[in-house]
Amino acid sequence: MAIFSLWVINKAGGLVYQRNFADGLAQLTSNEYLVLAGTLHGIHAITSRLSPIGSSSGAQVIEGDSFKMTILLTATGTKFVLLTSPGETTAELVLQKAFEAYADAVMKNPFHTPEMPIRSDGFESRINTLIGSGQP
Partner 1 sequence: MTIYSFYIYDRHCACVYYQDWHRTKRPRPAVEGGILNAVSRAVAPQAADTSAANLSTSSTTAEDSSSIFTQAALDTPRSNALTFDEEAKLVYGVILSLRNMIKKLSGRDEQFTSYRTSAYKLHFYGTISGYKFVMLSDPSTDGLRFVLRQIYNGPFVDYVVRNPLVPMDSREQGVDNDYFRASVDRLVRGLVVFD
34 binds partner 1 (CB under 8 A): no
Out of 9, 16, 82, 83, the only residue in the binding site for partner 1 (CB under 8 A) is: 83
101, amino acid identity: A
H/E run at residue 15: strand 15-20
94, amino acid identity: V
Is the Cβ–Cβ distance between 3 and 94 less than 8 Å? yes
Size of the site for partner 1 (CB under 8 A): 33
Rounded Cα–Cα distance for residues 47 and 3 (Å): 25
Is the Cβ–Cβ distance between 105 and 123 less than 8 Å? yes
76 binds partner 1 (CB under 8 A): no
Out of 56, 76, 125, 129, the only residue in the binding site for partner 1 (CB under 8 A) is: 56
Out of 13, 14, 60, 109, the only residue in the binding site for partner 1 (CB under 8 A) is: 60
Out of 42, 77, 114, 132, the only residue in the binding site for partner 1 (CB under 8 A) is: 42
Interface residues with partner 1 (CB under 8 A)? Answer: 25-28, 32, 36, 39-40, 42-43, 46-67, 83
